Amino acid sequence: MERKQMSPLEELRHSTAHILAAAVLRLWPDTRLDIGPPTDTGFYYDFDSSTRFTPEDLEKIEAEMNNIIRENQAFVRSEVTREEAIAYFTDRNQPYKVSRVGDIPAGEPISFYQNGEFIDLCAGTHLRYTKQVKAFKLLSIAGAYHRGDEKNAQLQRIYGTAFPSKTELQEYLTMMEEARKRDHRKIGKEMGLFTFDTDQVGPGLPLWLPKGTAMVEELERLAKETEFAAGYQRVRTPHLAKESLYLTSGHLPYYKESMYPPMEFEEDEGGEKVKYYLKAMNCPHHHKIFDAEPRSYRDLPLRLAEYGACYRYEKSGELMGLMRVRSMQMNDAHIYCTEDQFGQEFRAVNEMYLKYFEIFGIKKYLMRLSTHDPEKLGQKFVDEPVLWKKTEEMVRRVLVESGINFVEVPNEAAFYGPKIDVQVWSAIGREFTLATNQVDFAVPARFGLVYTTRENTRETPLCIHRAPLGTHERFIGFLIEHFAGDFPMWLAPEQVRVLAITDEQSEYANHINQSLRQAGFRSTSDHHKDNIGGKIRRGRMDRVPYLLIIGNKEVESGTVTVRSRLNGEEGAFYFDSFMERLHGERSQRKLTVQL
């Protein structure tokens, strides 16, 4: 039972979900229904049926749904008493619906929505008629537990989507088809970027293969250069700490379920048992580094950066490629600053985002600024009314002044300060949550962090948590889809491949390859027994940005014939001038790719 005011698109999709349930009941009248809410990209409905739905069943259901739409049934709301609702669903052998009635708090209205013969427990809202559904599609069937709990019955979830027009639906389906082709797990395997060893290493713990590691290290180099220029200082901290640290930070007990369980041992033989936890976040360790020496206003802003590996426990069923993992390496930093410095620091963080978007050819993004609700100070939000107002005002101003695309979401800030979620869209138009910026009023105080002011008083600094490149795992997952594996040269695992036309030129080809490697380029040379056509095909398939073709003509003239992924056959260049071009493209991190 969904209780939020729905947007027009949600209303459309939720109504389509009702039509889906009605169609399933017509086809399999003994089906028991659970719930059918809209989602970000469509809708689903959960069914308990003795029939195991097949893809062919989806076609049958779609046909029946089209009947219902043609019948142009009205959606009619009615209010019932709790007893009526329970009696209605009990009579019809709908135990999940009975259970859902129990979720509705006493005093709230209980409403039914009816279209044709179908009645659902539902808070609404809905379309007026079924014919308003003009473009829908059922997409897939998956298992789902009642109330998401593995202890409950497993249901069959049918996913679908609906759009206001057939054109929009078709665009979405095309995008999803393209997303399937660009699936990061598929391309990651083809390109040898990463692997999992579920049996012996463990699920959700990626092993980065040499080619994936090359990308990870390029991203780190980018971040380190960018952060050095922006006055960050790098630190390194261990991957674990005593329970005590996480009690101070508040991760224990509030975040305990997302952490690996502790390692427990006697610190000294016969001594007390101590628990150590793997770190799920880098903040507590960075706070310790802030606190490692006395700080004065002269030290601020202090910007501590670390590509820290964090470990979080996710249920194995919820793991998904690089997108949902248990180990992740974050492009993390914490900026400790005074209130006066906050605006400028926050602006600089935003500018860093925009710079990265440009480097990666990310054209569409959105920042969601979550703010506090003044009526919930002291409960949902830390009781610092002046600081909230001031900080949110500054954040808002900076976002506007920097021309940042953002929306404001009231009442969704974190307990300890406003936060900014950054959404980006891949080249094919799919949305990803990249990272969160977080202003933190509260935790520095929990750690007793202070600095001496110019007036020799002691103040608690503000702290900005930021991670513009997110985690290696998620960001590379995104980049694989975004570029379909055709990464810009600076980032590509294999940047150049040298192809000799015959064995005659292999010495010169090796020399070219070695020169490239000495200049730090990830170059190889193709030694397969194969004609040049085969070698070029393999180079394209392996997504190498530059293929250098070496025949007798090239050997004689000291040239290379360049075949680039972006422009195809480009003709012959003196090797030195080609190297110069490569150096330029690498140091400027040119996109060298069609998006």
Binding residues for a second copy, per CB under 8 A? 150-151, 192, 195, 197, 199-203, 205-210, 212-214, 216-217, 224-225, 228-229, 233-242, 244-245, 248, 260-265, 267-270, 274, 276, 278, 284-285, 288-289, 292-293, 304, 309, 311, 313, 315-317, 327, 329, 517-518, 520
Q: Under DSSP, is residue 255 helix (H, G, I), strand (E, B) or coil?
A: coil
Q: Give yes or no for a contact between 565 and 544, defined as CB atoms under 8 angstroms apart.
A: yes
**What is the Cα gyration radius of the chain?**
29
- Beta-carbon contacts of residue 407 (< 8 Å; ≥ 6 apart): 366, 367, 368, 369
Closer Cβ to a second copy, 97 or 295, answer by number: 295
Q: What is the nearest approach in angstroms of a second copy to the Cβ of residue 268? A: 5
Q: What is the nearest approach in angstroms of a second copy to the Cβ of residue 204? A: 9
Closer Cβ to a second copy, 263 or 541, answer by number: 263
Secondary element (H or E) of residue 583: helix 575-587
Annotate 494-563 with three-state secondary structure: CCEEEEECCHHHHHHHHHHHHHHHHCCCCEEECCCCCCHHHHHHHHHHCCCCEEEEECHHHHHHCEEEEE
Q: What is the nearest approach in angstroms of a second copy to the Cβ of residue 248? A: 7
Q: Give yes or no for a contact between 194 and 207, defined as CB atoms under 8 angstroms apart.
A: yes
Nearest in space to 305 (alpha carbons), one of 280, 336, 276: 336
Q: Under DSSP, is residue 430 helix (H, G, I), strand (E, B) or coil?
A: coil
d(CA 38, CA 558): 63
Give the distance, in angstroms, between the CA of residue 155 and the centroid of all CA atoms in the same chain.
27
Buried b (16+ CB within 10 A) or exposed e, 546-572: bbbbbbeebbeeebbbbbebeeeeeeb
Beta bridge partners of 377: 381
d(CA 435, CA 567): 34
Closer Cβ to a second copy, 198 or 594, answer by number: 198
- DSSP class of 129: B
Q: What is the nearest approach in angstroms of a second copy to the Cβ of residue 39? A: 24
Closer Cβ to a second copy, 17 or 469, answer by number: 469
Q: What is the nearest approach in angstroms of a second copy to the Cβ of residue 315? A: 7
Nearest in space to 73 (alpha carbons), one of 26, 128, 113, 28: 128
d(CA 463, CA 101): 44
d(CA 467, CA 369): 16
Closer Cβ to a second copy, 209 or 595, answer by number: 209
Closer Cβ to a second copy, 54 or 198, answer by number: 198
Q: What is the nearest approach in angstroms of a second copy to the Cβ of residue 238? A: 4
Q: What is the nearest approach in angstroms of a second copy to the Cβ of residue 55? A: 27
Q: Tell whether the torsion through CA atoms of 373, 376, 380 and 384 is positive or negative.
A: positive
Q: What is the nearest approach in angstroms of a second copy to the Cβ of residue 246? A: 9
Q: What is the nearest approach in angstroms of a second copy to the Cβ of residue 24? A: 28
Closer Cβ to a second copy, 372 or 472, answer by number: 472
Q: What is the nearest approach in angstroms of a second copy to the Cβ of residue 388? A: 29
Closer Cβ to a second copy, 213 or 510, answer by number: 213
d(CA 208, CA 205): 10
Annotate 453-503 with three-state secondary structure: CCCCCEECCEEEEECCCCEHHHHHHHHHHHHCCCCCCCCCCCCEEEEECCH
Q: What is the nearest approach in angstroms of a second copy to the Cβ of residue 303? A: 10
Q: What is the nearest approach in angstroms of a second copy to the Cβ of residue 515? A: 12
Nearest in space to 502 (alpha carbons), one of 524, 533, 481: 533
Closer Cβ to a second copy, 50 or 587, answer by number: 587
d(CA 24, CA 536): 52
Q: What is the nearest approach in angstroms of a second copy to the Cβ of residue 511? A: 16
d(CA 532, CA 552): 13
Closer Cβ to a second copy, 67 or 248, answer by number: 248
Q: What is the nearest approach in angstroms of a second copy to the Cβ of residue 484? A: 22
Q: Give yes or no for a contact between 425 and 364, defined as CB atoms under 8 angstroms apart.
A: yes
Q: Give yes or no for a contact between 45 and 17, defined as CB atoms under 8 angstroms apart.
A: yes
Closer Cβ to a second copy, 24 or 328, answer by number: 328
Give the distance, in angstroms, between the CA of residue 98 and the centroid of all CA atoms in the same chain.
36
Closer Cβ to a second copy, 68 or 305, answer by number: 305
Closer Cβ to a second copy, 43 or 311, answer by number: 311
Which spans in 5-142 are helix H?
A: 8-27, 55-70, 82-91, 95-101
d(CA 479, CA 487): 8
| Amino acid, res. 244 | S
Closer Cβ to a second copy, 38 or 308, answer by number: 308
Closer Cβ to a second copy, 160 or 308, answer by number: 308
Q: What is the nearest approach in angstroms of a second copy to the Cβ of residue 469? A: 16
